[in-house]
Structure 1
Amino acid sequence: MAHYASENENEITTLRPKLFQHERPLHEVLGGGKVADVLLWRNKNVSAALLLGVTAIWFLFEVVEYNFVTLLCHISITTMLLLFIWSTLADILKWSGPQIPDIILQDSFFQNLASIIHRRFNHFIQTLLYISYGKDLPRFFLIVVSLYILSVIGAYFKFVNLLYIGCLCVQTLPFVYERYEQEIDNLVGDVILDLRKKYIQFEKRYLNKIPRGPVKEKKNR
């Protein structure tokens, strides 16, 4: 029994875990559709336009200090004026009028985005519950420390800034991870492996020495 436990400990302390346990390509993990193309910069024009749009919104709210309702009204007024001028000149000069392509508001894009967010959120909740039950103590302590650091950082940033940083992370981290997946997995795996070794040493030195009451065996009736 002791030899078997020793083999398990050796396996735990030598097996390098991956950051994300997936066998499929990251593009398929993210849904494999247009949303995945945007997040992984397969469609560079749309990804760049989205990044510039988010940056412009952050600039208007944080730097210019626009009010949301005021900004929304000004954008609506400007759009309506441009469409009115364009339509009027088109009637006078016999040009083709403004035609808004249907691609702008495709249902499939938002459905794929909502589906991916729903699946990722469910996976996050299941993983969080699994770790919270004490199934993976090194990762439990790592997440607790990470959340505490995030709470400290959040105290020094406004919500708009945190939201903008989150959008930047969503648009950059998947692309960076796909490009340097092996290097990132090795780095994070080494950190988790080191935490597991330290936890095993802590368990041997302290936790196993805590006195416990006798375990009563159940009688088979």
Structure 2
Amino acid sequence: MASSSYEASRQGRLFGRQRPFHALLGGRKVADILMWKDKKLSAVILVGMSTIWLLLEVVEFHFITLLSYFLIFNILFFFLWYNSAGLITWSPPCIYEAGISESTWRYLFKRLNWFIRTFFEISTGKDLKLLFMTLIGLWILSVVGASFTALNLFYITFLCMMTLPVMYEQYEYEVNYLASKGNRDLSRLFRKLDSKFLSKIPRGPVKEKKFT
């Protein structure tokens, strides 16, 4: 039985997804970084964030102090670069190319709108299983958040984002097997809760609303 479940997990994907994991993460630069397609850039970001966490949490720099030092260093660096470019073979920096592109902002706003709409969609209770799982997840997050500082929680989340996707890609079949087994156990538990408690909760009619 276990072997047949394992073989079935090899054919399917995590949570029934149809697209590759890289496409599920957006298929762009962010996905390349999280999946370590660009190893140099991913390593630089990991080392940079780890250094910031070390300075703020271990060395106990204040955020404003660290930000001020960072800006001072960059001002001096660009000052020396710009004024010494004529003496060496480097070309001076182009200040008009600095900034965040409009496509990046549009992508961020699109994801934020998706999150808000999904939050309200779950809150309607049309999918009780999803509502129940969301409440349990938020409760677990509140317990975890009470045990860590915001900075440590953010850094742990960052490490998970930088390691779990690439580890899943490497051990996809094993993870699919464990996830499918856990999903079956969770569905069995939810059916018991639904038959005993959730199905007896009165709910009013929910109007369908299309998001544009």
Structure 2 CA distance for aligned equivalents of residues 115 and 63 of structure 1: 34
Structure 2 CA distance for aligned equivalents of residues 87 and 208 of structure 1: 67
Of 116, 129, 133, the match for 2:121: 129
Structure 2 CA distance for aligned equivalents of residues 131 and 182 of structure 1: 33
* Deviations 1:155-183 (CA, angstroms, capped at 9, x unpaired): 12111111111211222222222222332
Q: By how many angstroms is 1:194 displaced?
A: 1.2
Computing the radius of gyration from Cα coordinates, the structure with the larger value is 1
Structure 1 CA distance for aligned equivalents of residues 51 and 118 of structure 2: 35
Asked if 2 retains the 8 angstrom alpha-carbon contact of 1:18 and 1:188, the reply is no
Asked if 1 retains the 8 angstrom alpha-carbon contact of 2:81 and 2:92, the reply is no
Q: How many residues align?
A: 191
Asked if 2 retains the 8 angstrom alpha-carbon contact of 1:39 and 1:175, the reply is yes
Of 168, 178, 181, the match for 1:187: 178
Distance 1:172 1:105, change over 3 A: farther
Q: Is the counterpart of residue 162 in structure 1 residue 153 in structure 2?
A: yes
Of 73-82 and 61-70, deviating more is 73-82
Determine helix, strand or coil for the equivalent of 1:155: helix
Distance 1:163 1:203, change over 3 A: closer
Alignment-derived partner of residue 71 in structure 1: 66
Alignment-derived partner of residue 26 in structure 2: 31
Q: Which amino acid aligns with 2:125?
A: Y
Q: Which amino acid aligns with 2:88?
A: W
Counterparts of 1:1-221 in structure 2, within 5 Å, are 19-85=14-80, 94-97=87-90, 99-100=92-93, 105=98, 107=100, 111-112=103-104, 115=107, 118-119=110-111, 122=114, 125-126=117-118, 129-130=121-122, 133-137=125-129, 139-203=130-194, 206=196
Q: By how many angstroms is 1:45 displaced?
A: 0.2
Structure 2 CA distance for aligned equivalents of residues 115 and 21 of structure 1: 25
TM-score by length of 2: 0.70
Q: Which amino acid aligns with 2:20?
A: P
* Deviations 1:105-127 (CA, angstroms, capped at 9, x unpaired): 5745x834862673386168527
Structure 2 CA distance for aligned equivalents of residues 42 and 147 of structure 1: 32
